[in-house]
Amino acid sequence: MSRYNAPFEIHVHGDVPVRADVTYAQLQDALKPLWTYAGAKSLADGAESSYEEEPGIKFDATEHVLRVCWTVPGEEDFRQSLDEMCMSLNELAEQGAAIEVTFYDAEFDEEEESPEAESRDDFVMMFVGPTPAAIMQVQRDLLVEDVVNLMERHFDGAELGGVVAEIDKLFSHRFDDLVNSLEIGKPPRGTGGSGHGGGRRPRHLH
């Protein structure tokens, strides 16, 4: 469908490692919310970005990585397409990955607007992964990177081990809460054990 007057230019960016057995057909199906939103009839037809200098949507079959650097005109309803895509990619992902999505206000002209006017630009970080633990690992690693980069302006990196440990504690609590919520309502296990479900605990760096 044509979106020449769409209020946003939406840029999707990220690399998603997928399992070695994943086929192009599976990726085409998982990415259907994106290419159909662009008005295409197939992934090959919709993989090209609105900007020629961007590589678009590419599948590196050698490295088993889906690479996305792709822009499409759109509206707020694109967020639903993103949610559907992420749910599908969870089934194909080999490990956790982050996908950055930027909404640029196509109707905002900084030179013509009044000083009080604000653009509707927005930034969203989406996460995909084979398990909740894999997704939390990516979230944790990004947070540690951001916090360390910020604090290294004032402290030596070697002094920040305690800060990283506290971040790990927060994610450990979140993971345990998730596991406990998944256990609610489950029948008792026949083995008599009380092991946790929900996948592996995220790795911690100390």
167 phi and psi angles, rounded to 5 deg: -65, -40
Please say whether the beta carbons of 204 and 137 come within 8 A: no
Walk me through the domains of the chain, giving residue ranges and CATH numbers.
Answer: 8-110+118-129 (3.30.70), 134-183 (no CATH)
Distance of CA 81 to the CA centre of its chain: 13
Mean of pLDDT values over 102-109:
82
The count of other CB atoms within 10 Å of the CB of residue 42 is 11
Structure tokens at 122: 């927005």
pLDDT-derived band at 185, boundaries 50, 70, 90: low
Beta-bridge partner residues of 67 = 15, 58
Does the pLDDT of residue 200 top 80, yes or no?
no
Beta-bridge partner residues of 71 = 11
Q: Which residue has the higher pLDDT, 55 or 114?
A: 55
pLDDT-derived band at 198, boundaries 50, 70, 90: very low
